[in-house]
Amino acid sequence: MLTPRYYQSGSNAAVWHYLANNDGNPLVVLPTGAGKSLVIALLIQQARKFNGRVIVLQHRKELIEQNAAELRELMPGISVGIYSAGLKYRQTEHDVLLAGIQSIYRKALEIGDRHLVIIDEAHLVSENDETMYGQFLRELKLNNPRMRVTGLTATPFRTGEGPLCGRHRLFQRIVYEAQTGRLIEEGFLCPITNKVAEAEVDTEGIKLRGGEFIESDMQAVFVDNVDAACLETIEKCRDRKSILIFASGVRHAEDVAAFIEKTTGDRVGLVTGDTLAIERAGLLAAFKSHELRWLVNCDVLTTGFNAKCVDAIAIMRATMSPGLFCQMVGRGLRLHPSKNNTLILDFGENIKRHGSIDDANFGRASEAKRGQAARAALNGRGKQCPACGIDVAANTRECECGFMFPVNVQGSSDDASQLTGQIPPEVWTVVSYGWGKHIKRGDNEAPPTLRIDYECRLVESEGGLLTTKISEWVCIEHEGFARMKAIGWWQNRSMSDVPNTIEEALSLLNRGACRMSSQITTTKEGKYFRIQSCEFCDEIPEEWEDEVEEETFGEFSGVGEDVPF
């Protein structure tokens, strides 16, 4: 199997820790292109260690076929079955089964006990228990009342319904979330850039139905804009090799393809719901091999389309769904040797409507505009503590880990990318540091935290005398994701055993068991600093090497011994 990236193994460990210590169902949030297939493989492998029978639910045959091939490659020793009418497989006996929800939702009693259900693209699950997902899960639980469900998604909310997690929802908590901006910065995703679309359509007058733009009305507006939008796309994509275009309807897609073909002389691929499967496969193969430079589609390639070569995306449609917008942009996030970044051209005011795809509250503003403000306020996330990663209510001044949300620090996003919302990071030289035990004020029952204070000076102001104190809280005695982060923090600084109490941590710090940061990089998120990365002048103290006991994110032994199903 491929070596998992830190966030992939972290996702796996966070899920199993939650399942072992809670009764609910966890959700993992990873950007498109971050490698969910490997996370699914890790979850399956762990379940099989306990003889767990797993079913992975997906909504399109292309996804099932693609993921089945990837899982078989990643897990050569595990037999993977398929249940999909579109693929003409109805296998039920395999311990690991990939299934299309449309094909299997009435067949729960035929596939026997299942201990773990993994739902890919979990944002498609409605809170309505009478949907295909609701009916299938309800009947599947009759076979095994201890069955557990885990979801993976790039967008933890559903249009018209709000957040996926909540006390009375299928998923109770986001146990791991990787931010798009950070994965781009770390080189795991392709950088994205956007240019202002001069031929942007005014969507103000397009009517809504069911919380989304009426397709016929939207298409009429975009059809009138074909010439201007296509000419601008051709001009701004002069140096691009693989351009993907999302159209507003079939007629619009046909007009766009015809205009570009006539203007450039290039062959243009066109994929709609009416395109024959064999023709679609040929067009996608030609696009991926660079034989085809342009590919226009209508409501087909938002999910299950893995063309890593995409280096430009023109969104010639509007959507009220932040999830759909995120999926379209996500087609360009995968890395490929042929590109340095992916250009996004938005002709439908989607960036204005939904904001940054990397904002912790991405999509919630547009939900509120449709009358969802009250539900968004009660979504259980509110805001995320930058110290421990725990979600707290929006009006929280002090997290249970001890982090105090500043109220006077002002941030500026003048230079921030429209698409990623990334405010330029600041680099600080650490002048001095200290540590201590932090007890949450007014709550003696909350676990204490290890507080590290850095006295810093901006690198850009070299020679200046002004310093700023930047703190981080390490949740040594917490559980779940906060503990996972604490383990990673400690192992990056010390070869000693990861302490279980603040007292043990302080003792080791005082005895020189940890190296400390010489330089830190931070970003402003709202009113506070988040430490993004650290640099060290010193190596990890070697005298502790003999005392290392391996403890990694991916080991189930580190999150409990009880089988959670």
Encode 379-441 in three state secondary structure.
CCCEEECCCCCCEECCCCCECCCCCECCCCCCCCCCCCCCCCCCCCCEEEEEEEEEEEEECCC
Segment 207-212 mean pLDDT? 87
Letter string b/e over residues 418-442, b meaning 16 or more CB atoms within 10 A of that residue's CB: bbbbbbebbebbbeeeebeebebee
Burial class (CB in 10 A: 0-12, 13-18, 19+), 563: middle
Euclidean distance between CA atoms 370 and 212, whole angstroms: 10
- At residue 238, the pLDDT reads 93
- At residue 49, the pLDDT reads 87
- At residue 556, the pLDDT reads 33
pLDDT of 403 > 70? The answer is no
Euclidean distance between CA atoms 514 and 56, whole angstroms: 42
Segment 549-564 mean pLDDT? 38
Beta-ladder partners of 523: 530
Start-to-end CA span in the chain (Å): 25
Residue 312: band (very low, low, confident or very high) from pLDDT cuts 50, 70, 90: very high
Contact between 298 and 253 (Cβ < 8 Å): yes
Specify the higher pLDDT residue, 443 or 488.
488
Euclidean distance between CA atoms 97 and 104, whole angstroms: 11
Residue 529: band (very low, low, confident or very high) from pLDDT cuts 50, 70, 90: confident
Residue 54: band (very low, low, confident or very high) from pLDDT cuts 50, 70, 90: very high
Contact between 203 and 54 (Cβ < 8 Å): no
How large is the angle between the packed helices 226-236 and 215-223, nearest 10 degrees?
A: 70
One fold for both 6-178 and 192-359?
A: yes
**Annotated domain spans of the chain:** 6-178, 192-359, 391-558
Which residues have a Cβ under 8 Å from the Cβ of 489 and sit 6 or more positions away? 474
The pLDDT tens digits of the residues spanning 258-298 come to: 999 999 999 999 999 899 989 999 999 999 999 999 999 99
Burial class (CB in 10 A: 0-12, 13-18, 19+), 265: exposed
The pLDDT tens digits of the residues spanning 127-171 come to: 777 888 888 898 898 888 999 999 999 888 777 677 788 778 889
C-alpha distance from residue 447 to each of 180, 233, 310, 443 (Å): 30, 55, 47, 9
Residue 22: band (very low, low, confident or very high) from pLDDT cuts 50, 70, 90: confident
Contact between 243 and 237 (Cβ < 8 Å): yes
Quick count: other Cβ atoms within 10 Å of Cβ 64? 25
pLDDT of 117 > 90? The answer is yes
Which region among 107-116, 337-346, 463-472, 549-558 has the lowest average model confidence (pLDDT)? 549-558
- At residue 550, the pLDDT reads 37
DSSP 17-77: HHHHH-SS-EEEE--TTS-HHHHHHHHHHHHHHTT--EEEEES-HHHHHHHHHHHHHH-TT
Structure tokens at 99: 């299934």
Residue 385: band (very low, low, confident or very high) from pLDDT cuts 50, 70, 90: low
Letter string b/e over residues 206-215, b meaning 16 or more CB atoms within 10 A of that residue's CB: beeeeebbeb
Q: Which CATH code of 3.40.50.10490, 3.40.50.300, 1.20.120.160, 3.30.413.10 fits the domain covering 6-178?
A: 3.40.50.300
Segment 318-335 mean pLDDT? 90
Contact between 79 and 96 (Cβ < 8 Å): yes
pLDDT of 50 > 70? The answer is yes
- At residue 258, the pLDDT reads 97
C-alpha distance from residue 236 to each of 195, 229, 312, 359 (Å): 8, 11, 9, 27
Residue 551: band (very low, low, confident or very high) from pLDDT cuts 50, 70, 90: very low
- At residue 361, the pLDDT reads 56
Measured on CA atoms in the order 433, 434, 439, 441, is the torsion positive or negative? negative
Contact between 544 and 485 (Cβ < 8 Å): no
The closest of 253, 318, 242, 245 to 286, measured between CA atoms, is 242
Structure tokens at 228: 């201007």
Euclidean distance between CA atoms 64 and 72, whole angstroms: 12
Structural domain 192-359, CATH architecture: 3-Layer(aba) Sandwich (3.40)
pLDDT of 221 > 50? The answer is yes
What percentage of the chain reaches a pLDDT higher than 70? 81
pLDDT of 307 > 50? The answer is yes
Burial class (CB in 10 A: 0-12, 13-18, 19+), 336: middle
Segment 413-434 mean pLDDT? 68
- At residue 564, the pLDDT reads 53
Burial class (CB in 10 A: 0-12, 13-18, 19+), 187: exposed
Segment 468-488 mean pLDDT? 84
pTM of the model: 0.66
Which region among 102-106, 399-403, 453-457, 466-470 has the lowest average model confidence (pLDDT)? 399-403
Contact between 382 and 394 (Cβ < 8 Å): yes
pLDDT of 316 > 90? The answer is yes
Euclidean distance between CA atoms 106 and 404, whole angstroms: 50
